[in-house]
Amino acid sequence: MVNPQVSMSDERRERVLDAAQRLFLKYGYDKTTVSDIAHEAGISKGAVYLAFDSKEAVMDALLMREGERVQEDMLARMRADPNGGALFALYRYGLEALSDNALMRAFYGRRREVFGDTLRRLEPRIADAESRSMSVEFVRHYQQAGLIRPELDPHAVAFLLMFMRYGLLTIDEVVPRDQSPPLAVIGALIAEVLQLGLAPLGGGDAEAGKRLFEALSRAALDRLKRQPAPPNTPSEEGGTS
Amino acid sequence: MVNPQVSMSDERRERVLDAAQRLFLKYGYDKTTVSDIAHEAGISKGAVYLAFDSKEAVMDALLMREGERVQEDMLARMRADPNGGALFALYRYGLEALSDNALMRAFYGRRREVFGDTLRRLEPRIADAESRSMSVEFVRHYQQAGLIRPELDPHAVAFLLMFMRYGLLTIDEVVPRDQSPPLAVIGALIAEVLQLGLAPLGGGDAEAGKRLFEALSRAALDRLKRQPAPPNTPSEEGGTS
DNA sequence: TTCTGACCAGAAAGACGATTTCGGTCATAT
DNA sequence: ATATGACCGAAATCGTCTTTCTGGTCAGAA
């Protein structure tokens, strides 16, 4: 069904996604119409439908693109740091990359103002992404690589990493972002605390961590890409009659 | 205005609060009527108004009572632990006490299903309670007492403690409570991580911490009690004309 | 071909009066 | 004194109808 041929409309798609991102973040998914997106992108409404099957497909493609960007960003930060493979650095860079991307921050924060009614549809994917990035399996791998102390309960550690990220990404509903300490300071502290609290004495082999993380995250992304399309959930509802 | 004489209707008040607590948690503030509360408490509606000025006053008194209970609970846990003055123990017991109180958990989690429209009115008080319990001043005191490493930025530490608690208390909107590791396990891990990550080597003087915390929390509670009534916010809205 | 914008059907958003609900009061009973 | 529950007015809810909006299509322009 999907045309394997990549036409020159790729740039068109990007512009639509750019426009959609701006408008979704500013007005929310529900209050943004397809005409608005077309106008913002400087094309006609029909052209949007040449590039995407539906409004939801625009959202999906946008999330995919931004998710990849976050991942690239995180990997770049990691590679730039000679000690970037240590758990503390990984987590820090992941958080920083996420926090720097407004759309993904809203995604993980499940902001209803931004995603509106499609949030329900996206929910499983958020949960999936969340568990993928800091799952129990992840923690086990790190324990085997000697980057997390082996005696710690991997479930508890995964949960800790999860709710810490959740808290950091969602607390700006309560404390405005500009009243919090700068992200770099927070990131550094989180990194330090996790390093001291979870890593073995000496911090483990940072290079091994770097390789491990790169492999794991690539594999996860590929798996995601291979998944063809998000299952349609036509808000099934009804009695038992 | 408040009658200084404590009548025997104190038990009546308690029963009303018990009833209100059950109903608020089960049906939410909006869907619970004063008649419902009266019925659940086994008295008439008029009697409710003999004990409280308004429905909002019931909510306020309930939150005050449960807040005190949480504090008592936390202090009890702390006192029971010979090492309870260490930062890690304090934070852990605070979280556990909070998590064990359904109403206060909903309060800190800003659950709209529970608090309904009054949530807006309560919001400042939540923020106040939040900052009170883990404020920058708090952290500074602990640094002076040698329980938190002095070189750490107190703002960052306070923010870390804040968003961690926020994340833990609110993540069960996403991950059902019964799918998370048991609170005791999480509490222990949090304690361990914070101890290793924030405390100086050796952990500092637990006794001093215990005394300090008790004093600080008592003072905070007293200050709160002295505050007469929450300011009425009649949802002011309108232009600048 | 490539793209446009008028067009459509179904959904959502008002309009609005009738009806019900609910916080709060008070005359009355105990 | 203490407590009750019928009562009140404001506000919310409901039901119904009308109007507007909006995702998606398609005949035709470029």
Q: How far is the CA of A162 from the C1' of C30 (A)?
A: 61
Cβ A218 vs Cβ A158: under 8 Å: no
- Asked if the model's pLDDT at residue A202 lies above 50, the reply is yes
More confident residue, A7 or B67: B67
Distance A30 CA to C11 C1' (A): 13
d(CA A125, CA B222): 47
Could you tell me if B153 and A181 are in contact, meaning their C-beta atoms sit under 8 angstroms apart? yes
For residue A38, the number of C-alpha atoms closer than 13 Å in the C-beta half-sphere is: 15
Segment (H or E) for A190: helix A183-198
Kindly state whether B208 is in contact with chain A, defined as any CB-CB distance less than 8 angstroms. Answer: no
How far apart CA B90 and CA B96 sit, in angstroms, is 10
The pLDDT, as a whole number, for residue B173 is 81
Decide: A168 and B167 in contact? Cβ < 8 Å.
Answer: yes
Reported residue count of chain B is 241
Tell whether A10 lies on the interface with B, counting CB pairs under 8 A: no
What is the average pLDDT across A192-203?
89
Give the pLDDT band (50/70/90) at residue A220: low
Q: What is the pLDDT of residue B14?
A: 96
Q: How is residue A98 written in tokens?
A: 């996420």
CB contact under 8 A, A159 and B170: no
Neighbours of A231 (CB within 10 A): 8
Model confidence pLDDT, tens digit, residues B116-144: 989 999 988 888 887 777 788 889 988 98
B162: nearest Cα among A91, A181, A171, A165:
A171
Which among B152, B170, B196 has the least Cβ separation from residue A197?
A: B196
pLDDT bracket for residue A181 (50, 70, 90): very high
CB A138 within 8 A of CB A154: no
Domain B11-52, architecture per CATH: Orthogonal Bundle (1.10)
What is the spatial distance between Cα A190 and Cα A184, in angstroms, rounded to a whole number?
Answer: 10
Considering only alpha carbons, which residue of chain B is nearest residue A189?
B156
- Please write down the HEC assignment for all residues of B187-220: HHHHHHHHHHHHCCCCCCCHHHHHHHHHHHHHHH
Q: Note whether B181 contacts A152, CB cutoff 8 Å.
A: no
Encode pLDDT of A60-119 as tens digits.
999 999 999 998 999 899 888 887 777 778 889 999 999 999 999 999 988 998 999 899
What are A9-48's pLDDT values in tens digits? 688 899 999 999 999 999 999 999 999 999 999 999 999 9
Please report residues of B whose CB lies closer than 8 A to that of A153: 181, 185, 189
pLDDT value for A225: 59
Pick out the nucleotide with least CA–C1' distance to B44.
Answer: D4
pLDDT at A186 over 90: yes
Contact A180 B159 (CB under 8 A): yes
Rounded Cα gap, residues A107 and A119, in angstroms: 9
Provide the positions of strand C that have an atom within 7 A of a protein CB: 2-6, 21-27
Token pair recorded at residue B223: 């200050």
Q: Look at residues B173, B187, B188, B95 and name the one whose alpha carbon lies nearest to residue B133.
A: B95
In this structure, is the CB of residue B117 within 7 Å of any atom belonging to strand D? no
What local confidence, expressed as pLDDT, does residue B131 receive? 75
Q: Where are the domains of chain B?
A: 11-52, 65-226
Hey, of B134, B166, B179, which one would you mutate to test binding to chain A, going by the most A CBs within 10 A of its CB? B166
Q: Assess whether pLDDT exceeds 50 at residue A6.
A: no
Query: Residues of A from 21 to 40 whose C-beta is within 7 A of strand D: which are they?
Result: 31-35
The Cα–Cα gap between B166 and B183 comes to 15
Q: By CA distance, what is A110's nearest residue in B?
A: B174
Place of tokens 């919001």: B123
| Interatomic CA distance for residues B68 and B74, integer angstroms | 10
The residue type found at B123 is E
Question: CA–CA separation, B189 vs B183, rounded Å?
Answer: 10
Topology (CATH) of A65-226? Tetracycline Repressor; domain 2 (1.10.357)
What's the pLDDT tens digit per position in A135-148?
888 899 889 888 89
The ranges of chain B with pLDDT < 70 are 1-9, 220-221, 223-241
* Fold that domain A10-52 belongs to in CATH: Arc Repressor Mutant, subunit A (1.10.10)
Contact B181 A159 (CB under 8 A): yes
Q: pLDDT value at position A218? A: 72
The protein footprint on chain D, as nucleotides within 7 A of a CB, is 2-6, 21-27
State the nucleotide closest to A50 in CA–C1' terms: C3
Buried b / exposed e across B127-154, counting CB within 10 Å, b at 16+? eebbebbbbeebbbbbbebbbbbeebbb
CA-nearest of A35, A41, A47 to A7 is A47
